[in-house]
Amino acid sequence: MLYQTPRGTKDILPDESHKWQFIETRVRKIFHSFNFREIRTPVFEETEIFARGIGQTTDIVQKEMYTFTDRGGKSYTLRPEMTASAVRAYIQHHFSEVQPIQKWYYIASMFRQEKPQAGRLRQFHQFGAEIFGSPEPVADVEIIQLVMEIFLQFGLQQPTLKLNSVGCPKCRLSYKELLRKILRPVFDQLCPDCRARYDTNPLRILDCKRDSCHKLTEKVPGIETYLCEDCKSHFQEVKRALTTLSIPFDLDKRLVRGLDYYTRTAFEVVSSQLGSQDALAGGGRYDLLVKELGGPETPGVGFAAGIERLLMVLEKLHLPIGEMIKPEVYLVGLGNETSTTVREQALKLRRQGVICELDLLNRSLKAQMREANKRGARLAIIIGENELQKDVAILKDMAKGEQIELPLSEITEYVLNKLGKPGS
Ligand code: HAM
């Protein structure tokens, strides 16, 4: 029996984990520069948090959640996204009483039982951010500028920002009515999913990916003209600020998003380097969600981006994705006598942040030198019995082939100098 990873999941093996670390380190640094702080929540939550938060009629809640009953009979779900969990934490820990504005970020795995394909997994990873407490367009702009800055710092020149406003329940009501009216005569031609959406959430029909549904909604006017005065001026201010900041965007009346909590601003960042799953990131405003989950009325806005998708784009465009770690120094020992000294020298260097490797197979000098070469070490430190007696070691520059003899007490300083390291 050969066990395999579950369908739609992947191992991140040691020869590719550096790419993940590279992305995480860079993203974390940018989040910190925008003064966002990290939130970590449990990987599973009470099912109702997602059902109510994301919306009962969404694909995620209806078809994609990993839900299980624990031994106590309680229903839990592996998080399919982080916003609902962040909101739960915001309410549970009374953050609204602490500081009016909370800026949080996360880097975490999510779970959705979708049909796996390129760029679509069942366990995938997101980095994302949420701002609680500001109803102002500047908060939307802070989030959008943040996400665009992250992609820019990874070297992506032209990811497209798609922008829309989905209004508030007040203005959505009349728009929904209009949609139903326009689509009633062609109801039978809609796909089964959209026929179900007709009553529950007709806005979602606009972003159905099927050509036939797309055609039927071609002439439907965008929501923009139906927005109430407040939503309209909010949207206008977001657009104005983005324009002044030279952040280009495409207005997309079909952009509705697959989660029901959005109000006003909704956006996606897409890349032409990806196939049909072209969204690198998505987000928007959710002014009613905190209240919906039992908290005080608190506006929110945020985004999340898919790490697997970002990696796909970086690899396709041959952009930097970090380097695998390799030993800087390989310590070669000979015989049992030298092994303690070799290990002591290695530890001294390791404590200064030098990446050291040593032989774990009691191999011959020749075999150890071959290994040092193969692993790409810059320096070899050779301590044989002769050297041990004289309290010295031989240091060999692997690229140049030059070697010198040094007292053991001087090794650390010499190596740090040679590697151009400050030491720690
Ligand atoms: P989302 O659009 O569902 O939004 O996901 C955000 C991003 O996660 C997508 O654009 C995509 O890059 C990635 N993603 C989603 N599903 C998968 C999958 N099955 N496989 C690989 N990558 C995937 C949210 O999750 C919202 N919580 C974003 C948000 C935060 N809105 C407000 N705050």
Q: Quote the pLDDT of residue 55.
A: 95
Q: Quote the pLDDT of residue 336.
A: 84
Closest ligand 1 atom to 286 CA: 32
- Ligand 1 contacts CB of residue 249 (under 6 A): no
Give residue-wise pLDDT tens across range 49-97: 999 999 998 999 999 999 999 999 999 999 999 999 999 999 999 999 9
- Answer yes or no: are the C-beta atoms of 146 and 30 closer than 8 Å: yes
Three-class DSSP labels, the chain = CCCCCCCCCCCCCCCCHHHHHHHHHHHHHHHHHCCCEECCCCCEEEHHHHHHHHCCCCHHHHHHCCEEECCCCCEEEECCCCHHHHHHHHHHCCHHHCCCCEEEEEEEEEECCCCCECCECCEEEEEEEEEECCCCHHHHHHHHHHHHHHHHHCCCCCCEEEEEECCCHHHHHHHHHHHHHHHHHHHHHCCHHHHHHHHHCHHHHHHCCCHHHHHHCCCCCCHHHHCCHHHHHHHHHHHHHHHHCCCCCEECCCCCCCCCCCCCEEEEEECCCCCCCCEEEEEEECCCHHHHCCCCCCCEEEEEEEHHHHHHHHHHCCCCCCCCCCCCEEEEECHHHHHHHHHHHHHHHHHCCCCEEECCCCCCHHHHHHHHHHCCCCEEEEECHHHHHHCEEEEEECCCCCEEEEEHHHHHHHHHHHHCCCCC
Distance, CA 52 to ligand 1 centroid (Å)? 18
Alpha-carbon span 226 to 165, nearest angstrom: 10
Alpha-carbon span 332 to 358, nearest angstrom: 6
- Fold classification of 329-419 is Rossmann fold (3.40.50)
Closest ligand 1 atom to 60 CA: 3
Tokens standing for 14? 């040691």
Where are the domains positioned within the chain? 17-168+228-316, 329-419
- Fold classification of 17-168+228-316 is BirA Bifunctional Protein; domain 2 (3.30.930)
Q: Quote the pLDDT of residue 291.
A: 98
Closest CA to ligand 1's atom 18: 120
- Ligand 1 contacts CB of residue 58 (under 6 A): no
- Ligand 1 contacts CB of residue 10 (under 6 A): no
Closest ligand 1 atom to 302 CA: 33
Low-confidence ranges of the chain (pLDDT < 50): none
Give residue-wise pLDDT tens across range 272-314: 988 888 999 999 999 999 999 999 999 999 999 999 999 999 9
Tokens standing for 152? 């820019």
Closest ligand 1 atom to 84 CA: 27
Q: Tokens 């951010």 belong to which residue?
A: 129
- Answer yes or no: are the C-beta atoms of 304 and 101 closer than 8 Å: no
CA 57 to each of CA 194, 237, 341: distance values in angstroms, whole numbers, following the listed order: 12, 31, 67
Q: Quote the pLDDT of residue 219.
A: 84
Closest CA to ligand 1's atom 12: 306
Distance, CA 309 to ligand 1 centroid (Å)? 10
- Answer yes or no: are the C-beta atoms of 190 and 205 closer than 8 Å: yes
- Ligand 1 contacts CB of residue 305 (under 6 A): yes
Tokens standing for 193? 């999913």
Distance, CA 210 to ligand 1 centroid (Å)? 20
Q: Quote the pLDDT of residue 421.
A: 87
Closest CA to ligand 1's atom 33: 302
Distance, CA 257 to ligand 1 centroid (Å)? 10
CA 210 to each of CA 186, 219, 308: distance values in angstroms, whole numbers, following the listed order: 15, 16, 25
As to burial, measured by CB atoms within 10 angstroms (0-12 exposed, 13-18 middle, 19+ buried), residue 237 is middle
- Ligand 1 contacts CB of residue 120 (under 6 A): yes
Tokens standing for 189? 């031609």
- Answer yes or no: are the C-beta atoms of 316 and 310 closer than 8 Å: no
Give residue-wise pLDDT tens across range 115-140: 999 999 999 999 999 999 999 999 99
- Ligand 1 contacts CB of residue 126 (under 6 A): yes
Tokens standing for 327? 């030993």
Q: What percent of the chain lies above the pLDDT cut of 90?
A: 88
Distance, CA 304 to ligand 1 centroid (Å)? 6
Q: Quote the pLDDT of residue 65.
A: 98
